[in-house]
Amino acid sequence: MQKHFARFEKAPLNFGKSGLALPSSRPWAPFVHKSAVERQPKKPDTLCRMLQETAAVVIGSGALGSSVAYHLAKGRLSPVVLIDQHELASQTSPRAAGLSSAIRKSELMTRLARLGIEKIRGFAAETGEEMVYFQPGSLRIARTSGHEQQLRRDVERGQRLGVNIDLVSPAKAQELMPLLETAGIRAATYVPEDIYLEPGQVPRGYVRATAKLGGTLLPNTRVTGFGVKDGCIRSVITDHGEIRTAIVVDAAGAWTRLVGSFAGARAGAIATRHQLISRSRFLESNLITRSRVWSIAMYTSGPAMAD
């Protein structure tokens, strides 16, 4: 496990200015499918001029945008263009802690989260791209009555939706996570199916897979506006030119609202700030552990601890 993460940390993707340069280190060699490289010229402005018209433009190459682009390309919507103002797959998504938990606050989110876990488990088979993940399960700890009620609701909702979740005693929780202090624990839940992974694998894998399906990648290309006529978007305006399209996906992450406002839309998304502390090997256990009081998540063997 350590070996895998060491490789992720030492071999960041180098997309180059055009985004089409092959990464220097071997693990990422298949990043751009050879035919895609041959088809695509290197300068974004040349690309924009050549593209002129496309079936769909996806703005943002994080986990969300790269996944949408891949699934559109897989669904034979062609051509698909994936645009990012920076290097591809370089912003929030690769900086996350990489925890993927099945239990969420609503039924819809729980179903989506479980689908996400299944997608990660089947990622390599579906896309042909490597996916290293760990499935140690997770503990959630409550030390206040409010958090205890929340965990009890999680158990009720999770079990109703078929998630393997249950309350465990403080002693059992400590057995699973020896670092845990049991004093003051009012409730703890354990979910064996929860996973974690080096999160950059998701957008990087989807970007590569999109390219293999013939999608066009436009890194270092900022969307600055939209051409709108009769209330419909007709084109995407970038700092390298304009692309005509009828379908636009705003997957700009923390910038979703800003990008939507270019078309007069009001996106219901708000960015929240997280903090990331990295330490290597600070725990003996392999379990993901979350404390509701401190809002801290911990796991071992990975590159990060996040709150």
Contact positions toward ligand FAD, by CB under 6 A?
Answer: 59-65, 83-86, 90-93, 95-100, 222-223, 251-255, 259, 274, 276, 306
Cβ proximity to ligand FAD, 62 vs 174, nearer residue = 62
Cβ proximity to ligand FAD, 168 vs 262, nearer residue = 262
Angle between helices 107-121 and 145-160 (to 10 degrees): 70
Would you call 285 helix, strand, or coil by DSSP? coil
- Nearest distance from C-beta of residue 273 to ligand FAD, angstroms: 7
Eight-state DSSP code of residue 23: P
Q: Which residue number has the CB closest to ligand FAD? A: 62
- Nearest distance from C-beta of residue 298 to ligand FAD, angstroms: 11
- Cα 111 vs. chain centroid, distance in angstroms? 17
- Nearest distance from C-beta of residue 287 to ligand FAD, angstroms: 15
Cβ proximity to ligand FAD, 81 vs 306, nearer residue = 306
- Nearest distance from C-beta of residue 29 to ligand FAD, angstroms: 23
Would you call 169 helix, strand, or coil by DSSP? coil
Q: What is the DSSP string of 91-110?
A: SSGGGS--EE-S--SSHHHH
Cβ proximity to ligand FAD, 93 vs 300, nearer residue = 93
Sheet arrangement for strand 276-277: 166-167, 187-191, 138-142, 288-291, 296-298, 305-306, 276-277
Q: Do 240 and 216 contact (CB within 8 A), yes or no? A: no
Q: Do 224 and 259 contact (CB within 8 A), yes or no? A: no
- Nearest distance from C-beta of residue 38 to ligand FAD, angstroms: 25
- Nearest distance from C-beta of residue 218 to ligand FAD, angstroms: 9
Q: How many CB atoms lie within 10 A of CB 74?
A: 15
Q: Which two tokens stand for residue 301?
A: 């063997």
Cβ proximity to ligand FAD, 174 vs 300, nearer residue = 300
Cβ proximity to ligand FAD, 99 vs 176, nearer residue = 99
Eight-state DSSP code of residue 164: -
Distance CA 219, CA 44 (A): 8
- Nearest distance from C-beta of residue 60 to ligand FAD, angstroms: 3
Cβ proximity to ligand FAD, 117 vs 167, nearer residue = 117
Phi, psi of 59 (to 5 degrees): -100, 115
Cβ proximity to ligand FAD, 113 vs 167, nearer residue = 113
- Nearest distance from C-beta of residue 81 to ligand FAD, angstroms: 11
Instruction: Tell me the Ramachandran region of residue 50: left when phi exceeds 0, alpha when psi lies from -120 to 50, beta otherwise.
Output: alpha
Distance CA 89, CA 199 (A): 10
